[in-house]
Chain A
């Protein structure tokens, strides 16, 4: 800076050439960055420590699940397996015993699929139309409807469980998969509607107006204009629902019969089964298997997830 000032003031005097050289010799181009600055060490150090902290349990689980029982009894949980065996995985999937049956997690897995897939699809379908109607059509009572929906999200589950049991019983679907799917759909509704409403409200309003001038009605605008622009938020909703419903334990126990128990309940029953010795390797394998679905979903759609969350969360 001082160089430039000096240059300007002297420029029209006797020796401008020397001054110009000084300017040209100064810093130029991209500013160099040191890789090992104190700041970088702090940032990466913290990140690595935190990452290790979260990865360590997973490491222990994977290692244990690959060992035989004799090796586990040696007690060194951090040591990698001397002899790798997939026996525990096979057993966890197909033949581990709960108090009631001995066909492992597979039964729970298929139950969970039959619960999660319809619940996710139905809840997203309804919530997206709700959000669209709330954001774009501003019907009479829309504000009230929205407020009630949001307040509903803050009522603790526990308060509602018994009334819902009665309602389902009266409808004759207590204990069935249909009943559980309806429950999941209802409980997902507030947050999903909010998500979709905010996303649709963030889309340019003039687009909606243009479509109306073009003669498109409620459903035409929804399917032909809004849906194609909303892939990210649908992915977000799908991830929220798949992981939420897959990980659900409480509703699964309360609203279904044992033959329909989801994977999480089945896992609990295997791990807590009191017959015989504790098979840590089978338990670890079963736990990883149960967690594999949400993990898989995150990995596949993680980037879309972040984009959608950012888009849905910022705009009110």
Chain B
């Protein structure tokens, strides 16, 4: 593959008897924004620390810019890192924080000044240069932390949940700023998060991880629309995908998922292999892929359900309904209101649904 920036080959890492990463492979393209997404404790930070050289790997190799850096010190890898807790040196001013790495590397004074000035311009922190980190707000601190990676002119930026200590508003502001930064710098960025919104909005590609294994590596829309397995499907999307466990039935030239006495017509589903009669499957329907009431009246296969709870969220309105003996969520436009107890008809767009094998949990 040409233009590979970071390449992880058969990486394994264990702490004593606990194996956190097991023969993991990952190639990241030059200039790509890759997001590592997964729940807490799945090994995202561990993988990032291995790439940074802060953890000794148990087995495998790491390449950065086609150079084998498996045994290199962090400073010799051409990486910059931004941490969740900012990790600014508390006793140094913002300026000193930015220049520390350059000073250690014995970069000439004029060059240091030039780079600090440029980084503080890009991040708009010039007025803060003389302050101590304790005199900054969370957002300003994280900006300085990004600046610390910026001044060192690195090939690869590593972010470990840089926004999760910030409040919601700042988080979305800084998210946009990081995206803008990536667009102007065009560096390779590896970004760890457990926030799916961050992942979907920032990433060129997302690697969804679960207990040290990459479940799916694809662009955000593929991850969202065609999740590779049940875990990815359930992990992405909020509220999460509605799942119906059932059995495939083929009759009258049509295919149905029979779940709890309800037949879902899945003839329109673009399956990769021919569907097999009697196969145990899980049907996944996103809340936003369900049509409600009058829209459903014209559709061929419609289902009747009763509104259980209504959660108006401003732009959207979330309905919780009972269908096939279980609760399911449906997202509709914010101005369409249904009081609890209202009977509605539902229809489903099976072209964008997901069907998984119940045992292997993989997409059909």
Q: Which residues of A contact B (CB under 8 A)?
A: 204, 206-207, 209-216, 220, 224-225, 228-229
Contacts and interface: CB of A to CB of B under 8 A. Distances in A.
A213 B85 contact: no
Nearest to B52: A213
A212 B75 contact: yes
A209 B54 contact: yes
Given A214-B75, A214-B148, A206 B85 contact: yes
Contacts of A204: 85, 87
Contacts of B89: 207, 210-211, 224-225
A215 B81 contact: no
A247 B52 CA distance: 50
A207 B84 CA distance: 11
Nearest to A208: B87
A204 B141 CA distance: 15
B280 to A, nearest CB: 46
Contacts of B88: 210
Nearest to B96: A224
User: Most B CB atoms within 10 A — which of A207, A211, A212, A213?
Assistant: A213
Given A209-B81, A214-B152, 20 more contacts: A204-B85, A206-B83, A209-B49, A209-B54, A209-B87, A210-B81, A212-B54, A212-B73, A212-B74, A212-B75, A213-B54, A213-B101, A214-B104, A215-B75, A215-B101, A215-B104, A215-B105, A216-B104, A225-B89, A228-B91
B325 interface: no
Contacts of A228: 91
A214 B52 CA distance: 11
Contacts of A225: 89
B74 A213 contact: yes
Contacts of A209: 49, 52, 54, 81, 83, 87
Contacts of B199: none
Interface string B97-110: 00011001100000
Contacts of B148: 210, 214
Closest 4 CB pairs of A and B: A215-B75, A214-B101, A206-B87, A228-B91
A216 B152 CA distance: 13
B80 interface: yes
User: Most A CB atoms within 10 A — which of B53, B75, B84?
Assistant: B75
A143 to B, nearest CB: 11
Interface of B: 49, 52-54, 73-75, 79-81, 83-85, 87-91, 100-101, 104-105, 145, 148, 152
Nearest to A212: B74
Contacts of B152: 214
Contacts of B85: 204, 206
Contacts of A210: 81, 83, 87-89, 145, 148
B102 to A, nearest CB: 9
Contact of A213 (B75, B84, B90, B91): B75
Contacts of A215: 73-75, 101, 104-105
Given A213-B75, A214-B148, A229 B81 contact: no
A214 B87 CA distance: 12
A225 B53 CA distance: 20
24 contacts: A204-B87, A206-B84, A206-B85, A207-B89, A209-B49, A209-B52, A210-B83, A210-B88, A210-B89, A210-B145, A212-B54, A212-B75, A213-B101, A214-B75, A214-B104, A214-B148, A215-B74, A215-B101, A216-B101, A216-B104, A224-B100, A225-B89, A229-B90, A229-B91
A224 B104 CA distance: 10
A210 B74 CA distance: 10
Contacts of A214: 75, 100-101, 104, 148, 152
A213 B158 CA distance: 11
Contacts of B90: 229
A49 B87 CA distance: 49
A239 B89 CA distance: 27
Nearest to A220: B104
Nearest to B80: A213
A4 B210 CA distance: 51
A214 B145 CA distance: 12
Nearest to B81: A213
Contacts of B54: 209, 212-213
Nearest to B85: A206
Contacts of A211: 89, 100
Contacts of B81: 209-210, 213
A109 B205 CA distance: 73
A272 B149 CA distance: 69
A216 B105 CA distance: 8
A209 B48 CA distance: 12
A221 to B, nearest CB: 10
A207 B100 CA distance: 13
A204 B90 CA distance: 11
Nearest to A228: B91
A225 to B, nearest CB: 6
Nearest to A216: B104
A179 to B, nearest CB: 38
Nearest to B152: A214
Contacts of B73: 212, 215
A211 B83 CA distance: 12
Contacts of B145: 210
B226 to A, nearest CB: 36
A144 to B, nearest CB: 15
A209 B88 CA distance: 11
Nearest to B49: A209
Contacts of B104: 214-216, 220
A33 to B, nearest CB: 34
A209 B50 CA distance: 12
A28 to B, nearest CB: 33
Nearest to B90: A229
